[in-house]
Amino acid sequence: MQSVNVSVPSSTGSKMAGTIDFPDTTPTAFAIFAHCFAGSRHTPGAARTSKQLTHHGIATLRFDFPGLGQSEGSFAKTSFSQNVSDIKAAAAWLTENYHAPQLLIGHSLGGAAALAAGSTISSLRGVATIGAPFDPAHSVLHYADKIGEVDEAGQVEVTLGGRTLTISRFFLEDLADTDPVVYLRKLKKPLMILHSPVDTTVGVDNAQNIFRMTRYPKSLVALDKADHLLTKQGAAARAADLIGSWSDEFIVPDFAPEDVGPDAVVARTAIGTNFGVVARTHNRNISADRTRAEGGKDQGVTPEGLLMSAIATASAQAVKAKARELKVRLADAAFERSVELLPAAGTDLDHVVRQQLLLAAQHSPLDSVLGRATITEVEA
């Protein structure tokens, strides 16, 4: 995986700080991630989800809304409607500079903004939300005791995550004028709603209301035991895996991987690594790398490990095939690098059968291939 920092123009022309997380291989599709209320692209929900999506071949742009994180602008001068426009601006920039986004993901208030923007971005094939409120005004309910001060000063300062934020009258009036029913009924894209049943910040009833107001195809999935900000170990990765698997149904690959037969291998260097390689065989990808001691990042199996794994696998399969031929019940067989066959504990084999199985292990199909293998050079 490689993360590239970019600068994205907002709907008002200010610069939004962004990061695109690329998979090791050419992306099959691009996505946009809209972060939570008063958060940033580096919050666990945004960063971890985006990075995990790379394992599904998806490159994701996550960016800081104006006035937050490293973006230009003043948060006090922003609004929910502007955030929706900023998502559309990010989609236009991504289309011009890379590929049109096919997937839009939003977390918390960013999820509400994604739902509002979803119907206006033609390239989208699906929208996914994580812990999104049904009504965007929910984002300021926790500051109800402070909101009254806006009438006097025109704005109010609140503390969130140790930071002081200024919420303006304009921001509140925009939220009050936003009717979620209007944009939810306009959304005609496949929708996945992820929500934790134990979310104490945005209750799960919000997900149920979104589900009731939107069209099919749609899915409502519970993120069991996850907290609202997805800070718990594995919560963001699980959300990303659910979204990645779900999106396989409708994403049209921007890049189709090579159709490699069972007797061929295509190995390509991985993006953003020293020695990382993605080997593709029989339409499956295998990640390989060197160890850290050898200058790699230890993000895949070593070439030696791949070779020994292949030998051990072929040997174990040959043993199982021979056992079936001899009608021997073999519960398990382990073939170690030391080339010693270890029948599972409790397997009762006599000496003759054991020798026949060991002989079969030494004459697996892979041994035959290695004995007559030649290297063919093909121009790239």
Predicted confidence (pLDDT) per residue in 132-175, tens digit: 999 988 776 665 556 666 666 677 777 665 567 787 888 888 88
pLDDT in the model for residue 380? 43
Is residue 334 assigned to a domain?
yes
* 204 or 328, greater pLDDT: 204
Reported as a single tens digit per residue, the pLDDT across 85-122 is: 999 999 999 999 999 999 999 999 999 999 999 999 99
Question: Do 317 and 217 fall into the same domain?
Answer: no
Start-to-end C-alpha separation, the chain = 23
Co-location of 290 and 306 in the same domain: no
Residues 98 and 226 grouped into a single domain? yes
Q: Once rounded to an integer, what is the mean pLDDT over residues 177-190?
A: 95
Residues 74 and 211 in one domain: yes
CATH number at residue 129: 3.40.50.1820
**What is the domain range of residue 266?**
258-300
Provide the token pair at 26. Answer: 């050419």
Q: Domains in the chain: how many in total?
A: 3
Supply the DSSP string of 172-189, one letter for each residue: HHHHHH--HHHHHHH--S
Q: Please indicate, yes or no, whether residues 19 and 78 belong to a single structural domain of this protein.
A: yes
Q: What is the pLDDT of residue 144?
A: 58
Q: What is the pLDDT of residue 336?
A: 60
Residues 111, 18 share a domain: yes
Residues 278 and 344 in one domain: no
Establish if 152 belongs to a structural domain.
no
Listed residue (329, 289, 327) closest to 306, CA to CA? 289
Which residue type occupies 295? G
User: Of 349, 352, 309, nearest to 329 (Cα)?
Assistant: 349
For all residues of the chain together, what is the average pLDDT? Answer: 84
Mean pLDDT of the region 291-317: 81
Kindly state whether residues 287 and 189 are assigned to the same domain.
no
CA distance 102 to 172: 31
Residues 270 and 130 in one domain: no
Which pLDDT score, from 0 to 100, does residue 163 have? 66
Helix (H) or strand (E) holding 245: helix 235-247
Domain check: are 351 and 262 in the same one? no
Same domain for 347 and 281, yes or no, is no
pTM (two decimals): 0.74
pLDDT, tens digit (0-9, with 9 covering 90-100), for 326-380: 887 776 666 564 544 455 444 566 778 778 877 776 666 666 666 665 555 545 4
364, part of any domain: yes
Q: What is the pLDDT of residue 290?
A: 85
Residue 220: count of CB within 10 angstroms of its CB: 16
Tell me which of 13-27, 205-219, 278-292 is least confident: 278-292
pLDDT, tens digit, 9 for 90 and up, residues 211-254: 999 999 999 999 999 999 999 999 999 999 999 999 999 998 87
- How far is residue 294's CA from residue 6's CA, in Å, rounded to a whole number? 32
Q: Are residues 91 and 23 located together in one domain of the fold?
A: yes
Does residue 73 contact residue 144 with C-beta atoms inside 8 Å?
Answer: no
pLDDT at 56 over 50: yes
pLDDT band at 318 (very low <50, low <70, confident <90, very high): confident
Would you say residue 377 lies in a domain? yes
